[in-house]
Amino acid sequence: MRLSWIATCLVVTLLAGPAFAEDQEQKQKVAEDKAQVLEKKATEDPSQAPAPKSEAITQSEVQAVDPSGTAPMDDAITCLARSIYWEAKGKEPTDMEAVANVVMNRLGHEGFPDTVCKVVKQGSETKSCQFSWWCDGKPDTAQEEAHYAIAKEIARKALNKQLPDHTHGALYFHDRTVKPVWAKEYINTVDIGMFRFYKPHDGDAK
**Per-residue pLDDT reduced to its tens digit, 87-103:** 998 899 999 999 999 99
Q: Is residue 9 part of a domain?
A: yes
| Residue 71 maps to a domain | yes
Task: Supply the pLDDT for residue 16.
Answer: 53
Per-residue pLDDT band at 132 (split at 50, 70, 90): confident
Residue 108 has pLDDT above 60, yes or no: yes
Question: Does residue 10 lie within any of the structural domains?
Answer: yes
The rounded distance, in Å, linking the Cα atoms of 27 and 6 is: 31
Confirm if 122 and 129 have CB atoms less than 8 A apart. yes
Q: Look at 7-16, 93-102, 120-129, 158-167 and tell me which has the smallest mean pLDDT.
A: 7-16
Average pLDDT over residues 58-69: 96
Cα four-point dihedral sign 134, 109, 94, 163: negative
Distance separating alpha carbons of residues 106 and 83, to the nearest angstrom = 13
CA–CA distance, 136 with 140 (Å, rounded to integer): 9
- Domain assignment present for residue 204? The answer is no
Is 206 within a domain? no
Per-residue model confidence as pLDDT tens digits over 9-62: 444 445 456 777 788 899 999 999 999 999 999 998 877 899 999 999 999 999
H-helix or E-strand spanning residue 198: strand 195-199
pLDDT given for residue 128 in this prediction: 66
Q: What is the pTM of this model?
A: 0.86
Give the pLDDT of residue 138. Answer: 75
Residue 65 in domain? yes
Average pLDDT over residues 61-72: 95
In this predicted structure, what is the pLDDT of residue 127? 65
Q: Supply the pLDDT for residue 13.
A: 44
| Residue 153, domain member (yes or no) | yes
Find the domain containing 105 and state its range. Answer: 2-199
Q: Which residue has the higher pLDDT, 72 or 15?
A: 72
Specify the number of domains making up the chain: 1
173 within domain boundaries: yes
C-alpha span between 191 and 176 (Å, rounded): 8
φ, ψ for residue 187 (rounded to 5)? -90, 125
Per-residue pLDDT at 4:
53
Mean pLDDT computed over 180-186 = 92
| Average predicted confidence (pLDDT) for the chain | 87
Question: Which pLDDT score, from 0 to 100, does residue 22 have?
Answer: 84
Residue of 199 and 124 predicted with greater confidence: 199
Hey, what's the torsion of the CAs at 148, 154, 156, 157, to 10 degrees? Answer: 170
